Structure 1
Amino acid sequence: MYEQIAWLPLCAGVTAAGLVLGFLAFRRRGAAAGMRMTAWALLPVAAYLTGALQALWTIGATAVGFVTGLVLNPLVWAGVAVTGLAAVLFVVSGVLRGRKLSVGRKKKAPAEGPAIQPSANKPGAAAKPQPAVAAQKERKGDDDFSDIEDLLKRRGIS
């Protein structure tokens, strides 16, 4: 099909029409608009002379063939539906996993650890409060970094 079209006269005609429009743009809207229109007008001839026109034709024909094959083929639509189902399943599984992780963190992560520790030597002996809990009870201020400081202290970072 590409060989059946006389490309040189077609490209030369489009370029000539663009040059006329570029001249009119130059007179009405100034030099910048005229030069921009002239640049666009020269592209068809440049595409023909460099051989890019045939590459563009091949790309366009392939894209049109793909789209018509997609639109008219029910098997392809089944593939599109399966792809959509897979995407929905990925999203839903991510949401469910995120909920599971957030619920697991709430259950597993105590705020400051146990408040009392039984004595290792004597079962049932009196318990002593942990130093981190005692320090938290002594601190009265509610500054913005208190939670971060507590986290760092629990991790052994000071």
Structure 2
Amino acid sequence: MLAETICSAVSAAGLGIAAVSAYRKRFLTAARIAAYSLVPIGLVLTGVVDWLAGIAFKPSVWIGFGLLAVAWLLFITTRAIERRGVGTRKERKAAARAARGEAIAPAASAPSLGTGLPATRTQTNPNPKQQPASSGEDFSDIEAILKKHGI
């Protein structure tokens, strides 16, 4: 009953503002305000306000909304964990076998789409001015830094 009264008052106030706007020769604005002000009374007359008021004050409805929110959070969390790269069940089993030292079956180690180029292809240097690093470089300074940090 209170909701219907409030909606009726809002509609009446909106229609009053629309009338003032029309008096000031702002007909487009007046029509838009009148359209907005007719929505609350339309909702009252169709019964939507009673339905919403019935839902808003039932604890069982709010418990249902809470359970739906928990389910949604679980779905989102599991999707995020799955996308972080945890891997599929086959990949996890293959990793567990490799950690135990068991032989990996050929089907489990089949190449995927992202394996890259075959090993037989050689890389060419597009910039001839840059020479590749020789294999006999001295890494003593890097080793000293690593030893300093205990690595």
**TM-score interval, smaller chain:** 0.3 to 0.5
Structure showing the higher helix proportion among its residues: 1
TM-score (norm 2): 0.42
Q: Relative contact order (alpha carbons < 8 A, sep ≥ 6): 1 or 2 greater?
A: 2
TM-score (norm 1): 0.41
